[in-house]
């Protein structure tokens, strides 16, 4: 999977495992459920084949390994707490899977679950250590969480028509 931009595609992406089909359309298209797996960098893009409006990209890739840099336990704790706040505000439910996430992929779980800006997600994917990814996400979520809380408060007041919740 690669992020498509108006002037082309980014050079770092990740492989995807198809988990299932969410919806089938009469014209043969599918909405599929996927999960990202191994990050890679495009080395060379090859022939582009067009199928109507769709284009198939092929290329050679190098799979990317993380540098060994241990994540700071305080940063990890802050990331989990901020993630729980944002997830609860957005989805009205406490996230259950974050505590089970393997330490080396916590950042991918957080970035993959929250509807964050795609360029921020791309920046996280391009970082080559879990410690760097966690630090970047904590910075992002510290700025984003107050905005989400404000939006939730405004939504709560709007539901009440100025006189409490209806």
What is the C-alpha separation between 38 and 124, in angstroms, rounded?
A: 14
Q: How far is CA 102 from CA 1, 67, 78, 106, 165, in A?
A: 22, 16, 16, 6, 40
Q: What is the pLDDT of residues 93-152, one digit of tens each?
A: 888 877 777 878 899 999 988 999 999 999 999 999 999 999 999 999 999 988 888 887
Three-state secondary structure call for residue 70: coil
CB burial string 34-63: b at 16+ within 10 A, e below = eebeebbebeeeeeeeeeeeeeeeebebee
- The model's pLDDT over 49-63, given as tens digits with 9 standing for 90+, comes to 666 666 677 889 999
| Structural domain spans, the chain | 4-63, 73-159
């Amino acid at each position: 999977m690669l992020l498509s931009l108006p002037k082309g595609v980014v050079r770092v992406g990740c492989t995807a495992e198809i988990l299932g089909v969410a919806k089938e359309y009469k014209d043969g298209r599918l909405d599929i459920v996927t999960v990202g797996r191994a990050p890679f960098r495009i080395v060379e893009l090859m022939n582009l084949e067009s199928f109507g409006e769709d284009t198939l990209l092929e290329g050679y890739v190098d799979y990317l390994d993380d540098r060994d840099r241990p994540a700071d336990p305080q940063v990890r704790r802050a990331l989990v707490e901020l993630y729980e706040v944002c997830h609860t505000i957005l989805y009205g439910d406490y996230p259950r899977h974050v505590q089970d996430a393997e330490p080396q992929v916590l950042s991918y779980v957080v970035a993959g679950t929250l509807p964050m800006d795609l360029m921020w997600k791309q920046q996280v994917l391009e970082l080559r250590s879990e410690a760097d990814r966690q630090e970047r996400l904590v910075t992002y979520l510290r700025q984003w969480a107050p905005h989400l809380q404000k939006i939730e408060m405004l939504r709560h007041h709007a539901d009440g028509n100025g006189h409490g919740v209806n």
